[in-house]
Chain A
């Protein structure tokens, strides 16, 4: 067992974990952040996307021990004081979820995309979301939601 200390959604956790434990299992089973889901389990679908030190990663493809001393943000850490994050609000308003399973990963990747490129074109949104699959094939409204969130933050900057 290896002792790790990880900051998850602003709170610090110290735990003894097996080195083989995946970050997604640590988040769900040890920390209790079940908002992050396991999708394909082969690092293709992106449903388990979280931020590690501020950048998006597939948490089924990172070991919990690799996150020792680092900061993780999950979908559960986006809302502040009960207010949805603008990206969550945009997904809600644009009907960007059908079954909802891919949504946590989609939103985490979309937030990373706008951090990197606050004003993406539709093509840049599609490219930037290429590591996230929606089995309902609801891509159209997902792209619309990301564009709407980008527009909203631009308006609030002005």
Chain B
């Protein structure tokens, strides 16, 4: 399978990338790591006139300490995020979720920013970013703005990043000392999540002081299980099942060959309990 012909530019600065996007208008596609875009182009589900490749913009890549947060460049590949000491220490949930994305070859190329803007509800980056209350930095012709993760995901494959704009950085508030776990349910190892649950908790004296829970593939966007988060406060390891029973509240999961919506709702409650339990252990 070969993509339809397109013009290609590989700018080396953010300004040049924004200029290339402005010039191309609606007919441009942004190429990050390409691990979702290239299959889409090959299957000709999309045939843009121009592809703007961000792969030569060094400033978009890497992880830095932002003081109260960890700042991840949008073009940082999954493998670098997983191995990064800052991410592992202060945003362990993200490292654990990203480690489950696809397979090693894909993790060498695919980027966290690309995944977030692609916004596939079965992708593994959205739920942890949402649960960790990240802030997204978006740059466009009018300058830079920040978008809270809670307002970033608009619908299926739709985010707050508008035409002509680029996601440049993901800022994750430090959750130092929080336990975390990502429970992903698949039938085949490198499959997309049928359902997955991202949980991170702060434990004090054997019970949960604070909890954050994100859901993957339980609706058209990643979701927060806020009812569960509230119910978990004060819970000990033995009392999790009741608190996690509400995990599917307010969700609208898809029905497909892997399972119908009711099956996914049930899965969400089970995986939430498992994820929180593991998160309490570290």
Residue ranges of A at the interface with B (Cβ–Cβ < 8 Å): 2, 18-22, 25, 41-44, 46, 49, 52, 55-58, 60-63, 65-66, 68, 109, 112-113, 127-128, 130-132
Contacts and interface: CB of A to CB of B under 8 A. Distances in A.
Contacts of B5: 18-20
Contacts of B1: 41-42
Interface in B102-117: 102-106, 108-109
Contact of B104 (A19, A44, A62, A130): A130
A20 B4 contact: yes
Given A18-B5, A66-B53, A66-B55, A61 B104 contact: no
20 contacts: A19-B8, A20-B2, A20-B3, A20-B4, A22-B2, A46-B105, A49-B105, A57-B105, A57-B108, A58-B109, A60-B42, A61-B38, A62-B38, A62-B109, A66-B53, A109-B104, A109-B105, A113-B104, A130-B104, A131-B106
Contacts of A113: 104
Contact of A131 (B2, B8, B41, B102): B102
B79 interface: yes
B34 A66 contact: yes
A127 B105 CA distance: 12
A44 B55 CA distance: 23
B51 interface: yes
A131 B101 CA distance: 11
Given A22-B2, A130-B189, A65 B8 contact: yes
Contacts, number: 83
- Decide if the interface of chain B is mainly helix, strand, loop or mixed: mixed
B259 interface: no
A103 to B, nearest CB: 16
Interface string B5-28: 111101000000000000000000
Contacts of B42: 22, 41-42, 60
B168 interface: no
B9 to A, nearest CB: 9
Contacts of B8: 2, 19, 63, 65
Contacts of B109: 57-58, 61-62
Given A21-B2, A132-B103, 15 more contacts: A18-B5, A19-B7, A20-B4, A20-B6, A42-B1, A46-B103, A58-B105, A58-B106, A61-B35, A65-B10, A66-B31, A109-B105, A128-B104, A130-B189, A131-B104
A56 B2 contact: no
A131 B103 contact: yes
A43 B39 contact: yes
By CB atoms of chain B within 10 A, which of A19, A52, A127 has the most? A19
A112 B103 CA distance: 13
Nearest to B55: A66
Contact of B105 (A42, A66, A131): A131
Please list the 8 inter-chain residue pairs (A to B) with the smallest Cβ-Cβ separation, ordered nearest first.
A131-B103, A19-B8, A55-B108, A130-B189, A20-B3, A58-B105, A131-B105, A130-B103
B266 interface: no
A49 B105 CA distance: 8
B4 A61 contact: no
Given A20-B2, A61-B38, A56 B53 contact: no
B41 to A, nearest CB: 8
Contacts of B34: 61-63, 66
A2 B56 CA distance: 15
A62 B77 CA distance: 14
Contacts of B154: none
Contacts of B189: 127, 130
Interface in B51-74: 51, 53, 55
Contacts of A21: 2
A43 B35 contact: yes
Given A20-B2, A65-B53, A131-B103, A43 B108 contact: no
